[in-house]
Amino acid sequence: MNVIFMGPPGAGKGTQAESIVNEFQIPHISTGDAFRLAMKQGTALGLEAKKYVDQGLLVSDEITIGIVKERLQLPDCKSGFLLDGFPRTIEQAEALDKIMDSLGSSIDHVINLHVDRSLLLARLTGRRICRSCGATYHVLFNPPHTENVCDKCSGELYQRSDDTEEKVGTRLDEYLNKTAPLLSYYRNKGNLREVNGEQEIGTVAAQISLLLRGQAK
């Protein structure tokens, strides 16, 4: 099963990915996570990505497509994958179609998490992430049992450098200008499914699970 999660920054793509990849036993491919890892390691890719990520701007299509192309060819993607945060431009979507063609495969589901812009700022500025296992929390909406400590692995929680009010504004503008047009691209193909991402985390997860199992409208 090949799945794409779409939605604005803070819609809950990463949060929902945690349970869905567990349930369906497929790899979670997040371009944002890949860039952050490269930035932490200080590789050439990381240094280049940092110029954009730190400003809340999209990394170039050429670099991003290259990473995904390489990743989708790995053997663990043969039985399916979950793409989180890719594609984000029409050019990336067209490149993905070509990659899937060359692999003799196709995208089965595009899940769009809809969340009103007014909620996104609060979600992003309150987000905390585990340094060790990457689990996502929110200081108000999904707090860990102990402040700043991961429930799953006791790792330390941190705040992403692009989760400031100013960067969030730029990220939302990038989304509206470059990524939102992709919704009609997938709607026209007939595999776009809308989920209300403003509901409780568990409710959203249950609805996505039903859609992927083909048991919901």
Smaller CB separation from ligand AP5, 57 or 100: 57
Q: Closer to ligand AP5 at the Cβ: 86 or 212? A: 86
With contacts defined by CB under 5 A, name the span among 83-91, 133-141, 185-193, 200-208 that binds Zn ion.
133-141
Handedness of CA 165, 167, 171, 177 (dihedral sign): positive
Cα–Cα distance measured from residue 176 to residue 155, given in angstroms and rounded to the nearest whole number: 34
Q: From CA 9, how far away is CA 32, in angstroms rounded? A: 11
Does position 32 interact with ligand AP5 (CB under 6 A)? The reply is yes
In whole angstroms, how close is the CB of 89 to ligand AP5 at the nearest point? 7
Q: Considering the complex, what minimum distance in angstroms separates the CB of residue 41 from Zn ion?
A: 19
| Part in contact with Mg ion (CB under 5 A); list of ranges 5-13, 62-70, 197-205, 209-217 | 5-13
199 carries a ligand binding annotation: yes
Site string for Zn ion, 149-188 (x = CB under 5 A): -x-xx-x---------------------------------
One DSSP character per residue, 30-73 reads EHHHHHHHHHHHT-HHHHHHHHHHTTTPPPPHHHHHHHHHHHHT
Please give the DSSP secondary-structure letter assigned to residue 128: E
**Cβ neighbours of 155 (radius 10 Å):** 17
Is 88 in the active site?
Answer: yes
Where in the sequence numbering do the catalytic residues fall? 13, 88, 127, 160, 171
